Chains A and B, each alone.
Chain A
Amino acid sequence: MRLLTHNMLKCHVKNCTDPDKQYPLRFKDVQIEQIEYEANEEFLVRMLPRIDWVALVKTAKDLNIAIPDSVPEDPASDQDFLQSLHTIIMETHVTEGSMVCDGCSHEYKITKGIANMLLAEHEI
């Protein structure tokens, strides 16, 4: 599972509604793998507004991945920024471990690169 995907995920347990805690989910005991993927700068620049940067910074720091604290004023002309963005969101995969919600402590498992986001009936 790419960090791009993680940036879109939030806890969806029924009574878990504190927006400051249900997002982003916190990685726990994870295995990380870098998998090469062809970069497309125009894609990265145009897709950037979909990324929650604060959440991405928090997650990257948790995983000891270097990341700029803020998005540069003109990302399209900043090769270094685009390269590191690409590496972080498109090439960094979490293959094993889990994601924990800081609000309700629910743990979502990741196995063989696949996150299981299903909830038990009483949590929906």
Chain B
Amino acid sequence: MREPVADTLEISSAVKEEQYVHAVYNEIATHFSDTRFKPWPVIERYLLALPVGSLGVDIGCGNGKYLGVRTGDIFMMGTDRSSSLVEICRARNYECLVSDGLDLPYREGAFDFAISIAVIHHFSSEERRRDAVREILRVVRPGGTVLVFVWALEQHGRRKFDENTQDVLVPWVVPAESRVEGGEKVYQRYYHLFREGELASLFQQVGGNVIEEIGYDRDNWFVIARKD
């Protein structure tokens, strides 16, 4: 029950994401947010190195943990598909709105940079993951950079995955003490686990960018790319 299981659901990508991603995050938002407070070092380093005056967007910003890493001399706004998570950001005085990563409401080249941390592994087909990367790059100006993190198939931490199963349902357990109704509840979230090289390949397929860094950190693959 607590172990990840292979995704064998016979439903469309959009319905799968609605039921096994969007609905789950709306339900677990508060507990999820309470467990997400420490910025990852690679992301912090990226944000701290940006030039003064940079304007950026965090796509799939969750509870906004990266929106407050650097304030004053740069500005970041967030967007998330989960209205419950956006409400948490708003309550923390972060600039945030509700939108879909496949269909962002921003004009082309609006931002100097964009980050998308642990988000596009929730899109359940390669085409949709590629479209998500394309959309992130679209809203950044030529010369701007993007940083994308996704869960790795090759994890060395507490989670272990079958190397032959990339599409999985991963349990999220909300303990009894975190639920008003009492009693523990287990939710399943859909993930596509990225193999080494797979994220970079999406950037190459989309084109119009140069990959500046590829790395592995905290059970995730990441790419930093500069838009042409």
Contact = CB atoms under 8 A, between A and B. Distances in A.
- Say whether A associates with B: yes
A113 B103 CA distance: 21
A56 to B, nearest CB: 13
Interface stretch (A26-34, A59-67, A77-85, A115-123): A115-123
Interface of B: 14, 51-55, 57, 72-75, 77, 79, 81, 83, 86-87, 90, 95-100, 102-107, 110-112, 141
A119 B103 contact: yes
Nearest to A12: B105
Contacts of B103: 12, 119, 124
B98 A46 contact: no
Contacts of B77: 4-5, 8
Given A47-B75, A119-B103, A5 B97 contact: yes
8 tightest A-B CB contacts, nearest first: A46-B53, A117-B105, A117-B99, A8-B110, A115-B97, A10-B107, A47-B53, A116-B98
A104 to B, nearest CB: 13
Contacts of A118: 81, 98-100
Nearest to B51: A46
Given A42-B52, A47-B75, A117-B79, 17 more contacts: A1-B95, A5-B97, A11-B105, A38-B72, A43-B52, A43-B53, A43-B74, A47-B53, A50-B55, A50-B110, A50-B111, A52-B107, A112-B87, A114-B87, A114-B90, A118-B100, A119-B103
B-side binding surface: helix, strand, loop or mixed? mixed
23 contacts: A1-B95, A1-B97, A2-B95, A4-B75, A4-B77, A4-B95, A8-B77, A12-B104, A40-B72, A42-B53, A43-B72, A46-B51, A46-B52, A46-B53, A47-B75, A50-B55, A50-B112, A50-B141, A112-B90, A116-B97, A117-B99, A118-B100, A119-B103
B50 to A, nearest CB: 11
A10 B106 contact: yes
A113 B52 CA distance: 27
A117 B97 contact: yes
A97 B126 CA distance: 38
